[in-house]
Structure 1
Amino acid sequence: MNYEEEQAQELEALRSIYDFDLVELSLTSFAITVRADEELADEARRTLGLPANPDEDENDGYDGDEDGQNGSNATPSGPHVVLQFELPKTYPEVAPDISFSTFSGFLTSEAEESSLLDELRGLAEENLGMASSFTLVSHLKERVEDILRQKIEETKRAEEEKHRLAEEAERRRIEGTKVTPESFAAWKGRFDREMAEANRLALKGQQVDSKKQKLTGRQLFENDQNLAKSDLTLMEAGDVAVDVDLFEMEDDMGLDEDDEDEDNEILAALRADTD
């Protein structure tokens, strides 16, 4: 097998298929840009918020060959992958060396890209003895478009779930919580405990208030005149009676007006009892 002739024929076929998406780096190395279909790319922009040109400041590192042939200065727009080939001397009897030089707009992780590259290498091994570049590029296009569709569907489902939860929350807010025998029993238990605790605190508060409101001996004496008479009934022979007139010596005792008023009330009560 004439390896150089086989490789030259394959490269000629690739030029006619991929046109400016093919960039020749040397006689045995080239890169092919794989783009998502425009309709799918537009949906990805709307759903995933992808920019029209995710690499507007990049040109993928390829501007064509030294003579400006077989290269495009236009930056790829939308989701795209650049798959680079390096053909060994004995290709296609051995698999080509392949790698990704650009993987843009598909929202893939490094693990996903690494797994996809391993998948392509396995496919190349299955096609030993025949030109495999077109097969690899076609398979790559299908896979990256499948990945993009999956990302779009996941995003749509997440948005739908978000809206569903918001609507459910609004419905619950409007309707209120549905009462079931179980929920009522739980509420009744909490209510009874709260009422028992409130009654306990109220009773404790009344006991405290009753202690605070306990009257002094003088207040009891002033509020109940029967207390003044009760002492007279207990007097026995030999007991000395108190002359209430002794308490009227206010000028000599230096009592102020407030004390005078209080004492006069007591004296008046005593006089009434002795009369």
Structure 2
Amino acid sequence: MGREEQIEEREVLDSIFPDEITDVSETQYRISITLDIPDDEANEPPTMLLDVQYPEDYPDKEPHLDLLPPQNAASTHPLFSVSDDRAELLDGLRETVQENLGMAMVFTLVSALKEAAEQLIISRKQDEAKRHEEVLLAAEREENKKFHGTMVTPETFVKWREGFLKEMEEERARQEEERLAELKKARIKEPVRLTGRQLWERGLVGKGEEDAEDDGDAPVEEVERLKVEA
């Protein structure tokens, strides 16, 4: 019963994958799977080989599966590697295998494997695009700093406020010191002394006194005292 189902499935697969399937033995074959990656004209579509080997009781028992890189591959895809992604992709088929025990499942496995591998590459492309966008945004933020200065945050505002208050306090102290120095200087300032001519012009002495004191200086206080006594 098992062998008959295996032969029947193999014939169906040959009609679906006429150019992609290659026999290894009566119970083992390989199917070449080419992945379709949208918006990826710069790279060749990646390809992988699903190796299928029937156990005697297949499909009641799960088939032996392996994933191989294509022979003589011209190039590799930068976001996909059969050797690196093999374990993850095969592990992802376990649930599908269990759900299809008792039925011919290879076509279902090929479809699930192809979809999983394509989604893996698409996710990596999205992550790569996101990283590239983050780099561009970081460069743009650095460029904008030249025009907007440092961004104000609660921490930078507190630091600025402390520095501003300290600067204002130092300025007030400096002004107070200057004011006290001016007051002190005013208290010890010497009395104004006038020449004899200046005393005569102001009517503080007579003409004779001007000739005697023309070249000398006399304190205003002394002149006032002499006028009172006279």
**TM tier relative to shorter chain:** 0.5 to 0.7
Counterparts of 1:29-68 in structure 2 under 5 Å? 29-37=28-36, 39-40=37-38, 43-44=39-40, 46=42, 51-52=43-44
Identity %: 30
Q: Structure 1's 83 and 173: CA in aligned 2 closer, same or farther, altered over 3 A? A: same
TM-superposed CA distance for 1:19, in Å, is 1.9
Structure 1 residue aligned with 2:66: 99
Which residue type is aligned with residue 156 of structure 1?
A: A
Instruction: Give the total of aligned pairs.
Output: 160
Structure 1 residue aligned with 2:130: 157
Q: Is the 8 A contact 1:44 1:148 kept in 2?
A: no
Structure 1 residue aligned with 2:53: 86
What CA distance in whole angstroms lies between the structure 2 residues aligned with 1:80 and 1:18? 14
How large is the RMSD of aligned CA atoms in angstroms?
A: 2.9
Normalization by structure 2: what TM-score?
0.60
Q: Is the 8 A contact 1:98 1:121 kept in 2?
A: no
Which string of whole-angstrom CA distances, capped at 9 and with x for unpartnered residues, describes residues 192-234 of structure 1? 9xx9xxxxxxxxxxxxxxxxxxxxxxxxxxxxxxxxxxxxxxx
Which string of whole-angstrom CA distances, capped at 9 and with x for unpartnered residues, describes residues 226-271 of structure 1? xxxxxxxxxxxxxxxxxxxxxxxxxxxxxxxxxxxxxxxxxxxxxx
Structure 2 residue aligned with 1:28: 27
Which residue type is aligned with residue 47 of structure 2?
A: H
Structure 2 residue aligned with 1:130: 103
Structure 1 residue aligned with 2:219: none
TM-superposed CA distance for 1:165, in Å, is 0.8
Structure 1 residue aligned with 2:5: 6
Counterparts of 1:207-218 in structure 2 under 5 Å? none
Q: Report 1 or 2 for greater relative contact order, CA contacts < 8 Å, sequence distance ≥ 6.
A: 1
What CA distance in whole angstroms lies between the structure 2 residues aligned with 1:178 and 1:143? 45
What CA distance in whole angstroms lies between the structure 2 residues aligned with 1:116 and 1:183? 54
What CA distance in whole angstroms lies between the structure 2 residues aligned with 1:25 and 1:182? 76
Which string of whole-angstrom CA distances, capped at 9 and with x for unpartnered residues, describes residues 19-43 of structure 1? 2221111111011122211x52xx3
Q: Name which of 166, 174, 185 aligns with 2:161.
A: 185
Q: Is the 8 A contact 2:46 2:80 kept in 1?
A: no
What CA distance in whole angstroms lies between the structure 1 residues aligned with 2:83 and 2:28? 24
Which residue type is aligned with residue 95 of structure 1?
A: E
Q: State the secondary structure of the residue aligned to 2:30.
A: strand
- Structure 1 unpaired stretches of 5+: 53-77, 196-275
Which residue type is aligned with residue 30 of structure 1?
A: Y
What CA distance in whole angstroms lies between the structure 1 residues aligned with 2:132 and 2:54? 46
Structure 1 residue aligned with 2:189: none
Q: Is the 8 A contact 1:33 1:83 kept in 2?
A: yes
TM-superposed CA distance for 1:160, in Å, is 0.9
Which residue type is aligned with residue 160 of structure 2?
A: F
Q: Is the 8 A contact 1:88 1:97 kept in 2?
A: yes
- Structure 2 unpaired stretches of 5+: 71-75, 171-230
What CA distance in whole angstroms lies between the structure 1 residues aligned with 2:4 and 2:93? 24
